[in-house]
Amino acid sequence: MKDILYIVVPCYNEEEVLLETSKRLEEKLNQLIRMDMISLESRIVFVNDGSKDSTWDMIESLHDSNPLISGINLSKNRGHQNALLAGLLTSKEHADLVISMDADLQDDINAVDEMIEKYYQGCDIVYGVRSAREKDTMFKRFTAQSFYKVMNMLGAKVVYNHADYRLMSKKALEGLENFKEVNLFLRGLVPMLGFKTDIVTYERSERFAGESKYPLKKMFALAFEGITSLSTVPIKMITRLGIGIFFISILMLIYSVGQYFRGETVVGWSSLIVSIWAIGGLILFSIGIIGEYIGKVYLETKNRPRFIIDSFINTTQPKEQTEQDQTRQRV
């Protein structure tokens, strides 16, 4: 009997694309079942992250008409990363392997085949990595590439050109469940698990419909979340900056004393004001960075739930019935 696959798809206001996404994923799931790569008990799990449109109503309707489609409804909007985690950890109880992807159809669904092949070859984590960004605008390409470079430079180690399109085995998900932090950045947490990993490259398509849920503002917020959640490099940079400014002040003191004995002392109002504003700005910036870390520690100590599931609709077949169906399908 083949392993059970769950495909987890976080959704926030995705009514424009949901029908097409469910159609393509259903076709892919049925194809994989016919190829005997996965079990008949495999499912597509849409996670409704507190959508304000009719996304959840559509998920319920899809489930009623097709048992291959399941749905998780969160009690309120918790953000993409928390919604994704809710889908992963809930699916872990039913599946042997889980693939996560976005609902916008930009990730190549056909890459799923190669991911599953690598899973059967012994990989516990398989990353979907974009092979190129030709279809992105120059600005989008620059900001995206800068995102990955800055993240790695500041200590948040992530897989280059990888978002949240990945396969994880049950063992990998059990490892992920041990990470209890409230400030989630899965792109940085998953590489910390270890285990055997591999990558599958694919060409990213344009969004099928609707608007991107990650505009530039949210990308900056996500990068900042990842850096401050996974790395102490910014605090170390503040320390080095303070030491550097201290040595510069000593040099300026030596220079001022030298100018005084040469009789060339000039009272410089402009330079004084600039120095005050520069040092003051650096101090406030440094306090802000430290404050962000203190705020995250504050949230972690509260140990609040990362998500609350309002309902989970899922149809599973008895194991005996599934085996009979598979036997009939092979015949």
* CATH at residue 136: 3.90.550.10
Whether the per-residue pLDDT at 330 is higher than 60: the answer is no
What is the largest distance, in Å, between two alpha-carbon atoms of the chain? 103
Q: Are residues 136 and 184 in the same domain?
A: yes
Q: Are residues 163 and 285 in the same domain?
A: no
Which domain range does residue 237 map to? 233-302
Q: Are residues 119 and 156 in the same domain?
A: yes
Q: What is the pLDDT of residue 327?
A: 32
Q: Are residues 289 and 312 in the same domain?
A: no
Among the ranges given (20-24, 112-116, 311-315, 323-327), the one the predictor scored with the smallest mean pLDDT: 323-327
- Residue 10 to residue 21: CA distance in whole angstroms: 12
- Residue 208 to residue 205: CA distance in whole angstroms: 8
- Residue 75 to residue 180: CA distance in whole angstroms: 20
What is the mean predicted confidence (pLDDT) over 309-327? 59
Q: How far is CA 221 from CA 22, 79, 139, in A?
A: 30, 12, 18
Whether the per-residue pLDDT at 96 is higher than 50: the answer is yes
Q: Is residue 222 included in any domain, yes or no? A: no
Percent of the chain with pLDDT strictly greater than 70: 71
Indicate the pLDDT class of residue 326, thresholds 50, 70 and 90.
very low
Q: Is residue 60 included in any domain, yes or no? A: yes
Q: Please give the model's pTM, rounded to 2 decimal places.
A: 0.72
Q: What is the pLDDT of residue 273?
A: 60
Whether the per-residue pLDDT at 99 is higher than 80: the answer is yes
Q: Is residue 227 included in any domain, yes or no? A: no
Radius of gyration of the chain (CA): 25
Q: What is the pLDDT of residue 264?
A: 61
Whether the per-residue pLDDT at 316 is higher than 60: the answer is yes
Q: Are residues 247 and 110 in the same domain?
A: no
Q: Are residues 114 and 251 in the same domain?
A: no
Q: Are residues 123 and 272 in the same domain?
A: no
Q: Are residues 173 and 239 in the same domain?
A: no
Q: Are residues 210 and 291 in the same domain?
A: no
Q: Are residues 91 and 42 in the same domain?
A: yes
Q: How far is CA 261 from CA 264, 268, 269, in A?
A: 8, 17, 20
Q: What is the pLDDT of residue 212?
A: 58
Q: Are residues 184 and 100 in the same domain?
A: yes
**Domain tally for the chain?**
2
